[in-house]
Amino acid sequence: MSSYFHGIQKIRYEGAQAAGDFAFRHYNPDEIVMGKRMEDHLRFAVAYWHSLAWPGGDPFGGQTFERPWFGDTMDKARQKADAAFEMFAILGVPFFCFHDADVRPEGATLAESLGNLDEITDLFGQKMEETGTRLLWGTANLFSHRRYMSGAATNPDPDVFAYAAATVKGCMDATHRLGGQNYVLWGGREGYETLLNTDLTREADHAGRFLRMVVDYKHKIGFKGAILVEPKPQEPSKHQYDYDVATVYGFLRRFGLEGEVKLNIEAGHAILAGHSFEHELALAASLGLFGSIDMNRNDYQSGWDTDQFPDNVPEMARAYYEVLRAGGFTTGGTNFDAKIRRQSLDPEDLILAHVGAMDVCARALKAAAALLEDGALEAARKARYAGWDRPENQRILASDLASVAKGALDRGLNPRPRSGRQERLENIWNKFV
Ligand code: XUL
Ligand code: CO
């Protein structure tokens, strides 16, 4: 087996004073944070599509990368798998994630595409056993091929719905066989370009039915992982149905799926929806939907989903604070849904992008954990609502509008506003980041 990353040794934790570039300064897998190993908190995963399959194109130009495994044959797919597992070992990441289209060539028929995936699944199984790398999640690419241009589950053509169902079944089978911890559905083309040709009611019904089939199949095969929907407001569709956490919650309630499906929340998608990453995480946690995260960042000037590696510790600390408040990951993890820039041509660039991002996340996690352990913020939050802990005030919630009104008049209420103390809390926050 020839090496793609030849000369790059396994990256190790060397501490903040490390001299070279190929070292972790903050990510120390065995360090205990809030009673748990850092590796088990963060549960890092490499995204196959960005790191192994993406050719470096943009809307104005094609491929810039020249990977020896590029090409549509099974030989090339096997070569790509060799490079992938070499990379996972160098980084020491516990997990990876993939779409079917990232790992196998498209066949001439549906059966051939599924057969190709099957063969690669066997190969992954061997490699995972040899290396100990695990699968965080698998998913189906239901957005790149032209057959999906008008959607997959929401396509007006029933044949596309059926084709997508067969594809998802194949990907769920592969994920199950590899012991995947989750199965993800991101509806990149489940949305519309123009209302002039779109039947919103029908498309929602079909999307709900499709997701129900996925959930039923999970139980049928005994897949123990979580089914995760990944919200995003637009790109590639002008409007995507799984807009944000709140919208997906409404969708799940509408189809009675809220107990069956959780969310994979991506930093850049939150920003595109006009939210912060931490807003989406906190809301998902409060709705009982928090599952996993896709870690990346957008460029704040361009307004596109640029999928860059995270480089901002204070921002990521906000995110991990919400992850920790939610109790941390169970089946989920931190998947780097991030790609290097198209000018970053060298094998070293791929490795260093992950090394830097893993260090950023480790610093963010440690800051968030220290803040949570300090307790000042949570104590202030609790104190702000303390009035509600008194039994007479709990009775307000159990009462009706007229009785509450009478009580307010009888007691001659004249509430006095109290400070929200935002700047004071921001100062506490800044002591830790
Ligand atoms: C696209 C995106 C996808 C999903 C998986 O913006 O985030 O890569 O994570 O299909
Ligand atoms: Co994503």
How far away, in angstroms, is 417 Cα from ligand 1 center?
A: 45
Enumerate residues 6+ apart whose C-beta is below 8 A from 13: 23, 24, 25, 27, 28, 29
What would the mean pLDDT of 86-91 be, rounded to a whole number? Answer: 98
Query: Is the shortest distance between the CB of 232 and ligand 1 below 6 Å?
Result: yes
Residue 302: which pLDDT band, with cuts at 50, 70 and 90? confident
Considering the domain architecture, whether residues 99 and 238 belong to the same structural domain is answered as yes
- The finding on whether 190 has its CB within 6 A of some atom of ligand 1 is no
Ligand 1 proximity of 173 Cβ (cutoff 6 Å): no
Average pLDDT over residues 118-143: 98
The domain containing residue 138 runs over which residues? 32-374
The verdict on the CB of residue 244 being under 6 Å from ligand 1 is: no
Q: pLDDT tens, 324-366?
A: 999 999 999 999 999 999 999 999 999 999 999 999 999 999 9
pLDDT at 1: 59
- Say if residue 410 is in the same domain as residue 302: no
Proximal ligand: closest to the CA of 152: 1
- Whole-number Å distance, alpha carbon 30 to ligand 1 midpoint, is 30
Position with higher pLDDT, 303 vs 398: 398
Q: Which of 324, 357, 374 is the last residue of a domain?
A: 374
Q: Is the domain of 211 the same as that of 169?
A: yes
Q: At 309, is the pLDDT very low, low, confident or very high (cuts 50, 70, 90)?
A: very high
- Check pocket membership of 230 for ligand 1, CB cut-off 6 A: yes
- Ligand 2 centroid to Cα of residue 376, in Å, is 33
- Say how many Å lie between the CA of residue 74 and the centre of ligand 2: 26
Residue 62 lies in a domain: yes
* Pair 304, 367 in one domain: yes
Q: Are residues 120 and 75 in the same domain?
A: yes
Q: How far apart are CA 161 and CA 156, in angstroms?
A: 8
Note whether residue 393 is domain-resident. yes
Burial-class residue 305 by CB neighbours within 10 Å (0-12, 13-18, 19+): buried
Whether residue 118 lies inside any domain: the answer is yes
Atom of ligand 1 minimally distant from the CA of 235: 6
CA-49 nearest atom, ligand 1: 8
pLDDT in tens, 233-248: 999 999 999 999 999 9
Residues 362 and 384 in one domain: no
As a whole number, mean pLDDT of residues 2-12 equals 94
Q: Does a structural domain hold residue 102?
A: yes
What would you measure as the largest C-alpha separation in the chain, in angstroms?
83
Distance 128 CA to ligand 1 centre (A): 23
